[in-house]
Amino acid sequence: MTSQSQPSSQPEIEFDADDPVIQSLAAGVPTTWFRTDLDFAEVALRRIVAGPDRGVSPDVGVEPDTGVEPDTGVDPDTGVDPEIVDRAAERFDRFAPWFAATFPETAAAQGIIESPLIPADAAQADLNERLGAELPGRLWLKRDDALPISGSIKARGGFHEVLEYAEAVAAEHELNLNEPATYSSEEFRALAATHRIVVGSTGNLGLSIGILSAALGFAASVHMSADAREWKKELLRSHGVDVVEHPGDFVAAVSAGRAAADDAPRTHFVDDEDSRSLFAGYAVTALRLKKQFETADVSVDADHPLVVYLPCGIGGGPGGVTYGLKRVFGDDVHCIFVEPSEVPAMFLGVRTGLHSAISVQDIGLSGATAADGLAVARPSRFIGPVISPLISGFATVSDDVIKAGVGVLHQTEGLDVEPSATAGLTVPWRTSGHLGEGVRSRNATHLVWVTGGAMVPADDRRRYVAEGLDLLPSLSA
């Protein structure tokens, strides 16, 4: 192995600097890695086994008597409690009446927070032409841009962790935690006001945590990185959330949030780098997606493989979704994580095996991207070590392609999304010759997870679309 040492102020890291895939990442060019050595899903899932229960609320690890955030961290050796996703699904079900009553836009879906699944034939035809190749199979979009309340994939995990904390606080004060009306009661709201939820974010996790915390009556602080968009900060302030701005990157914002929450009484820190509660919230979608495919009369089985393309930042969102999907669809689903070419944090962490011990700056990349939600230079401490045996591949795309994706979806499907959301859009056109026969056949379903957009203000939306349309000629797979 060629050793690559870092400047003396950094801990020493070693990786194979001769690896052509790492060299391609370091050059900042679009890179793809399809993994051919994965175990069968059943074997890999069995290895990802339960860790010890932790107190009253094992998923979030809350100790409500002190309100101090204990260990939400995950020892990669302890794995995942297989019940965690079912408990999260039950929690969302318990809160559905509260959502329906509190957020009228969720009433039609009886308070279930889920996004539409739609075929994207027009986008597929357009991209076939632009990319000069026919995609066998059919392109679908999972529209997390339209998730209610906070308009991004981060709502899945973020809402779950806030709800779990709310239950822990209710339990501590002997309120009926299973009764949705508890969370609208004056008694609960008075209690919640004495508790604070803290998070570090590039924007969308902050939106989900801040908006939901405020709706439950919690005090909330969101520590925002330099990449966070101004409108996200303003929106949070309009909900009464305390926004703390940091000049540094996401890692700096998270550590500032962690430090602020450390030892503070009645304070819960949502740790995007390491939380199982977030993870479980993301994974719940798999159970719903199975039903959505059944309703749409789309088969997912050995002869009809499903390939899912997930924009990746810290890795929590795509990691949780992947875990859920592998539990539901096993070897019939292949999950590909997609990152901006200047910020392939999870790709680099898994490829080198160093996970969160390496950052994209260690291979000379800037870590800067127009895809603000994906601007994370160092991956999750949990997802790479524990979930990577389930990830079928990694891809990077240039910022111009990400931005052009906004133009494609606007023009072909009438959808206006934020740039981070489109990262996966062209990657299906790279699967030719990979992932097995089925993926090359007409039977394949290619599902691009479109991860955010509903909250973007009209002016920014127009700007994203105009820029995307201008960049259409530069589109490549």
Ligand X SMILES: Cc1ncc(COP(=O)(O)O)c(C=O)c1O
Q: Where do contacts with ligand X occur on this chain (CB under 6 A)?
A: 152-154, 202, 204-205, 311-318, 373-374, 376, 418, 420-421, 451-452
Asked whether 233 and 224 are in contact (CB, 8 A), the reply is: yes
State which residue, 311 or 367, has the beta carbon closest to ligand X.
Answer: 311
State which residue, 267 or 420, has the beta carbon closest to ligand X.
Answer: 420
* φ and ψ at residue 340, rounded to 5 degrees: -65, 150
**Best CA proximity match to 55, nearest among 38, 69, 41:** 69
Alpha-carbon distance values, 103 to 107, 161, 209 (Å): 7, 18, 15
CA 465 to chain centre: 23
Question: Which structure tokens are listed for 125?
Answer: 């035809």
Shortest distance (Å) from residue 201 CB to ligand X: 7
The per-residue DSSP string of 195-237 comes to -EEEEEESSHHHHHHHHHHHHHT-EEEEEE-TTS-HHHHHHHH
**CA atoms of 183 and 268, how far apart (whole Å):** 18
**Best CA proximity match to 166, nearest among 194, 190, 188, 198:** 188
Shortest distance (Å) from residue 110 CB to ligand X: 26
Shortest distance (Å) from residue 84 CB to ligand X: 17
Q: The dihedral of CA 115, 298, 395, 390: what is its sign?
A: positive
Task: Provide the pairing of β-strand 32-34 with 306-311.
Answer: unpaired
Q: Cα angle vertex 307, ends 383, 455, to 5°?
A: 70
State which residue, 208 or 221, has the beta carbon closest to ligand X.
Answer: 208
Residue with tokens 């309340």: 149
Q: How many residues does the chain have?
A: 477
Shortest distance (Å) from residue 291 CB to ligand X: 23
* φ and ψ at residue 335, rounded to 5 degrees: -110, 130
State which residue, 168 or 199, has the beta carbon closest to ligand X.
Answer: 199
Question: Which structure tokens are listed for 110?
Answer: 């009886």
Shortest distance (Å) from residue 369 CB to ligand X: 11
CA 64 to chain centre: 27
Shortest distance (Å) from residue 155 CB to ligand X: 10
Shortest distance (Å) from residue 63 CB to ligand X: 25
State which residue, 332 or 418, has the beta carbon closest to ligand X.
Answer: 418
Shortest distance (Å) from residue 338 CB to ligand X: 9
Shortest distance (Å) from residue 327 CB to ligand X: 18
State which residue, 216 or 312, has the beta carbon closest to ligand X.
Answer: 312
State which residue, 191 or 421, has the beta carbon closest to ligand X.
Answer: 421
State which residue, 137 or 384, has the beta carbon closest to ligand X.
Answer: 384
State which residue, 401 or 421, has the beta carbon closest to ligand X.
Answer: 421
Ranked by CB distance to ligand X, the top (closest) residue is 373
Identity of residue 36: T
